[in-house]
Every structure is written in C-alpha cells, then in structure tokens.
Structure 1
C-alpha cells in the first residue's frame, strides 16, 4: 500500500479508469462529492464536546477515520484531475499565513487578519 500522495493519486486514477468513471470525475463533480464527504465528517464531530472530539473513543474514531479517508480520496482525485500539487499548494498557503499572521500580534488569538489582496504578500 502506498503512503504518499502521488501514489494515492495514481491508485485513484487507476480505480476510476478501470470502472470508466473518469467521465464523471469533472472538477465540479469531484468538488461537490468532496463537500458532501466533508459534511459527513462534520456530522461525526458535530455534537461531541471539545474533550470528546479530542478523544472520541474507538467506534466514533473508526467512523471519523472512514470519513477522513473519503475526504482525502476526493481531495487528491480533484487535485490530480486539475494538475495541482497539493503539497506545494499547502506550503504556499502556509507561506502566506506566515507573512499574514505575525506571531507577536496573533499568538493565542483566533481573530482573522484584515483581508488583503493576494499580491500584498
């Protein structure tokens, strides 16, 4: 079993190709499926207390794990169809966050930074 995103993308691509599902894997459809799976993940966590969400117990954790698998599969498939490097995209967002959220100003704060145009960084 592969543990890297490229290997997972390749396996998902082969899975879709073997079933002739590539025709259905448009960015729109994959994004909609991803949103649905995120909703199912949220539903597993929705009514848990903060402490329960940190330590959900084996049954709940098993359901959460399954939903995380679905979310990951759809996200990786969407990125693959669009030719987006997910790891590079995440690093780019983290780089922007490091520029936007100075630790001296935002440490321990949940407030959002003012909206700035993307080229402000």
Structure 2
C-alpha cells in the first residue's frame, strides 16, 4: 500500500486531533483566541531552546537538544492546524498563496542577498 501524500496525511492528522479533543471534551476550550494564546506559548517554548545559543551552536543541534526542539515544533504545528480548522482556513492553500505573494513582493533579481523588506528595496 502506498504512503498517503501530504494532503492526505494532513487530513488524517486533523482527524486525529479532532478525536483527541473530542474524547477529552476539550473542544469547548478551543476558541480561536485560546488557540492563538496556546500557539504563542509553544513558540515561546521553542524560542527558549535557542535563547542563549550562538549562531553556530544553533546550526549544530543534536541529541536530546534536537529532540526537545522537534517536540516544540510539533506543538506549534498542532496549534496552527487546530486554529486553521477552527477558522475554516485551508492551511496548505494559505501557504501556497503566501509563497506566490512573496514571489511577487520579493523578486529574486531585486532582493537577492538583501535582508531589507520589499518596501525598502
């Protein structure tokens, strides 16, 4: 049997998250506001892993350090999925749309090698 593609996997994960919350009667707490607050907390926890690292150290993560970061990234993704579902936003389509918009805003020939915002170049 073939592995499901990314869209199918995302749908399966969404269903698993719905069932997880349903089984615990947590849906009542999953307002957009609460999900954004939880997401912010998880991004903060992810940030803590990098807070006092040098640029080089942040590129050389391994072992339990990397395992902890992996878990925080998963938490961030879970809350993003839950928020997008709650708001009726197709997350993958939103990402594709944003990439296309950024390609227009930041033409490679105009911004290559620059950290400046599109409105400053």
Aligned ranges 1:77-88 → 2 under 5 Å: 77-88=82-93
TM-score normalised by the chain length of structure 1: 0.89
Secondary structure of residue in 2 paired with 1:71: helix
Q: Where in structure 2 are the equivalents of 1:102-113 lying within 5 Å?
A: 102-113=107-118
How far off its partner does 1:16 sit?
0.4
Task: Tell me the CA shift for residue 112 of structure 1.
Answer: 0.4
1:14 to 14, 19, 25: 19
Q: In structure 1, which of residues 43, 48, 56 is the aligned counterpart of residue 48 of structure 2?
A: 43
Separation in structure 2 between the aligned mates of residue 22 and residue 90 of structure 1, nearest angstrom = 25
The CA distance in 1 between the partners of 2:78 and 2:14, in whole Å, is 8
**Aligned: 1:62 with 2:67:** yes
Deviation at 1:101, TM superposition (A): 0.5
Question: How far apart are the structure 1 equivalents of 2:52 and 2:62?
Answer: 14
1:24 aligns with 2:24: no
Give, in whole Å, the separation in 2 of the partners of 1:70 and 1:18.
19
> Runs in 1 of length 4+ with deviation above 3 angstroms?
none
Per the normalisation by structure 2, the TM-score is 0.89
Aligned length: 114
| Bigger Cα displacement from structure 2, 3-12 vs 90-99 | 3-12
* CA deviations over 1:99-118 (Å, ceiling 9, x no partner): 00011110111110118xxx
